[in-house]
Structure 1
């Protein structure tokens, strides 16, 4: 049985490694497996949650890598890195690749673990060349290189961050602690309104203020423009910054699944067995939408899905996946929520 996994994040790698571990622990099993992991990444398997701590850590490009792809290959998983999947042919059970290594790949089981991409609100899309997003190691390297250029010119970077959610607050905190000036533009009246109760939002605001972050609420961004070496934001006033980061959340990668005729909503729709409307194709992680409409974008439930799906495919699990009890935590320097997060 050839299992092909698209995606090398925590969902895809955890699933692949669990399959190998289960196979090794049941040597008498009649199920033979061969695993191929396809990814557009080049560096290795890394921790996305650590991206927003990428400015107070000088060696983050190295420490963020949990496993190099060569090490994963050594474990018995075939890794096609630097490869883009361009299409899924469900009839022939093949995927088409834009890769120097392979052009097509046959699968018996296909697992979509593509994760999510940065959500850019439609009004900002015409200005994409003027701002950064932070969704990958490539993004982090680009922001760090830009910041390094400013620091080498003896300039104290002044950042604008659009978005006062989880990622926006983590970024603002880390950049401020690294010594930069930061202004957060948020569309509503309190920070992390989806995850925190009112009291904790106020506590978070106080922590950010103490670190030197300016937070502006109820902001309507009317325009973004280039002004010489600066980027300008137009609200009720016109303000210039050295750099701009848009942190307005994430959206599941569903285009490939949709083009293949799989059912998609906010994410790739799956049943309680993480199975799409094609019996040979599964989805897990933050690209998968469960029947309850939820997307599970946190580490604990993603690991749980990966472990469960490996057991199910190897016929060692027969009951549906159920979400574990879990909580989240913002990586903001000096902040601890008093009340549980809404996840």
Structure 2
């Protein structure tokens, strides 16, 4: 980029990652031209709040923390709201959109992730709702009858949080998952069993080791009938799909950028094309995907100066997660997927549980805290950080 001209940085996506990096860019460069391209309405809100909004009586409008107009004014953005990014012209350094091409000095992809749509038979499989955006939550809330029986496909982080939120607010969640316990990919089995029992005591119905084969609609009191792979039939008023997310890589892939599970980036957030960066749910960092709030903000602090011409490595702190299950609080730091080791129970009493993940070199690489022991989160983050 020219030393005399103010740089043009184009950001695709208006989620936490997009706005997070735009804030850092504006803080570092008051004069830069910052262009936001988004198909959404450009309002700022917390996506993690979607799975706990019912308990707080939140409408989709109430979840918006900063309207688009204010974000645009505060950050002095050239905003292209409702525009689709169609392609990247690498040779011409231009983003091609439904509103025309936009030249860039640096392009930052914050395209997020999209819900996995499992292959399910039946005439109503397409009606399952995945809550990953405000408009999805709005539809879910509007279609949710009072005291509804809700079928949730998936007992991972989002599915378990929704089960907690629903059961504590007068609804009847029924959860189906192919694994053996809730949060099975994040916590040791002993903790999963306690989550399962605690929520079951509140009224959650679980079906583990099973998958939904078909969803059909019947004009009866509870319209949906789900058939599991053991021929069990589950009647429900509404179906929620929480089986996971896939990084949105289509734009990058069609441009020829290197793709793994996500858009592959280096320690600076750069893709295989040096002037193009990726951040957030769509990005695959050297240590893998990191689709939570803390890594997004850390990545923004590295990518923004790098995109403005000062290469700055991304420094990730310990990436711990607060699981928003109010009936059984959990804080955890999962080990990296490639790390080999085992979970060890350190404490288990009336105040909660503490489990450590220890690798083959006897180094602590992760932890799970429950109930009152969640207060030890900062201490544990420091311990794992020092061991890394």
1:44–1:68 CA contact under 8 A, matched in 2: yes
Aligned length in residues: 325
| Residues 113/125 of structure 1: CA separation in 2 closer, same or farther (3 Å cut) | farther
User: What TM-score, normalized to structure 1?
Assistant: 0.89
Deviations 1:247-272 (A, max 9, x none): 10111000111111111111001111
User: How far apart in 2 are the matches of 1:305 and 1:143?
Assistant: 31
- Over residues 262-300 of structure 1, what are the superposed CA-to-partner deviations in whole Å (9 max), with x where a residue is unaligned? 1111100111111111111110112111233x1111111
- Give the 3 Å change call, closer, same or farther, for CA 125–325 of structure 1 in structure 2: farther
1:43 to partner: Cα distance = 5.4
Alignment equivalent of 1:194, drawn from 185, 198, 202: 185
Gaps of 5+ in 1: 25-31
Match of 2:286 in 1: 291
On the 8 A contact 1:172/1:213 being kept in 2, the answer is yes
CA contact (8 A) 2:150 2:237 kept: yes
Indicate the structure with greater strand content. 2
Please tell me whether residue 69 in structure 1 is matched to residue 60 in structure 2: no
Q: Secondary structure at the match of 1:20?
A: helix
| Partner Cα separation in structure 1 for residue 274 and residue 240 of structure 2 | 40
Matches within 5 A, 1:91-240: 91-98=91-98, 102-123=99-120, 128-147=125-144, 150-151=145-146, 156-228=147-219, 230-235=223-228, 236=230, 237-240=232-235
Alignment partner, residue 328 of structure 1: 321
What's the Cα RMSD here? 2.0
Q: What is the alpha-carbon distance in structure 1 between the residues aligned to residue 315 and residue 301 of structure 2?
A: 12
Q: Which residue does the alignment assign to 1:14?
A: 20
Report what 2:78 is aligned to.
78
Cα-to-partner distance string for 1:298-324 (whole Å, 9 max, x where unaligned): 1111100001111223344x4522321
Q: Map of 1:298-337 to 2, 5 A cutoff?
A: 298-316=292-310, 318-337=311-330
Distance 2:240 2:246 in 1: 17
1:95-151 superposed Cα distances (whole Å, 9 cap, x missing partner): 2223xxx3222211100011111112234698542211111111000000101xx33
Match of 1:29 in 2: none
CA distance in 1, matches of 2:17, 2:211: 36
